[in-house]
Structure 1
């Protein structure tokens, strides 16, 4: 079946709204969790090819955390400091011997699969790495109090600041390492067969013309 572009977007938005209605109750200070449906795709035949609403990613060792809902514009920081529109993050394997790497051509050797990209990029936002030189000050709500520079514990965290938008702890272990920097609502999309976590609502992937990340059956 062929869908006009505006019809595809409306159908996708309805699916997202239905997922939100069926989502588990989230804390009041967070927006509802976003659910995806494995194996479900909206496809429309166009002159450019086939647009797929949802897409899986097999290799999730290297995650892109985008500064803004913009896939191409470089980030301007200090004078002469131009960065890509995203930061890459991952989880290193403890004790991995890089000198004896059995797969030297694998740029992600020594890294684990990331089961929760939203949580992973939420940590990067919490550390303050997504707002260099105040480039994202415009998306921080008025009245939000950013933490002072320095290690955790300099000031008590506001309620819920140690958890992501789905209510999961940002950092494992009995002692939280959360700093309390602003973490926007994040959505996992797919760019270049890589997980791309982008600030914005569930519709942000479709608005950018890219698929939403589809969860695999063995993920929770």
Structure 2
């Protein structure tokens, strides 16, 4: 079945076609082998599952990108137990952002804005990749199931004089995780990440490009 044979909601077909063309023209930089998704096809960018009928990529914009959700797994509903506190649970994600240097919290002009003093995040994938790199996303081994066999995690403790592979300081798109020429990465496992939208908030989820459609949520419109 080709694209012309699929029935789409009004005005969606052209958006899917444009998305496929954009992806086909991209020339992404090489990424470390362990950061590549197990299965990634151009067809998956537009269609999910084994049948194409009625399944398409939904795109959604997010105007406020100051607060980014980084999900532990491709699961946006299951709450996680809190270690040492029986019966308590926490969301299936952490939130991350970047504060504006010198912002005066005592003289906040928008006291009702929970994200006041935070910057708009231009690259949510890079932002969450840092959280994975420093080990925040694998506390208590919660994401051990995502780490491929043979991957060597860094030892516990400060960075010190540990040697980290050069490519560990780059995200899946070839962008430096941290500013400056030095390799500041810690070297924890960073899976392939995809930016989706949940509750009008950017949700960065481990998984290939089609993971948003598989979860029934829109992909982030760039």
Give the TM-score range, shorter chain.
0.7 to 0.9
Between structures 1 and 2, the one with greater strand share: 1
Structure 2 partner of 1:200: 207
The count of aligned residue pairs is 195
Q: 1:26 aligns with which of 20, 24, 29?
A: 29
Do residues 58 (structure 1) and 58 (structure 2) align? no
TM-score by length of 2: 0.78
Cα distance in structure 1, aligned partners of 2:131 and 2:184: 12
Within-5 A mapping of 1:139-158 = 139-158=146-165
Higher relative CO (Cα under 8 Å, sequence separation at least 6) belongs to 2
Distance 2:114 2:21 in 1: 39
Q: Which residue of 2 aligns with 1:135?
A: 142
TM-score (structure 1 length as normaliser): 0.79
Deviates more, 1:154-163 or 1:188-197: 154-163
Q: Distance in 2 between matches of 1:142 and 1:15?
A: 37
RMSD: 2.9
Cα distance in 1 for partners of 2:57, 2:137 equals 29
Determine which structure has the larger helix proportion and give its number.
2
Distance 2:183 2:31 in 1: 21
Structure 2 residue ranges without an equivalent (≥5): 1-5, 41-45, 48-55
User: Residue 102 of structure 2: which of 76, 86, 95 is its match?
Assistant: 95
**C-alpha spacing 1:86/1:135, structure 2 compared with 1 (3 Å):** same
What are the residue-to-residue correspondences of 1:41-120 with 2, within 5 Å?
A: 53-76=58-81, 78-80=83-85, 82-120=89-127
- In the alignment, the residues of structure 1 paired with residue 93 and residue 154 of structure 2 have an alpha-carbon distance, to the nearest angstrom, of 23
Q: More deviation in 81-90 or 139-148?
A: 81-90
Unaligned 5+ runs, structure 1: 35-40, 43-50, 216-220
SS at structure 2 position matched to 1:165: coil
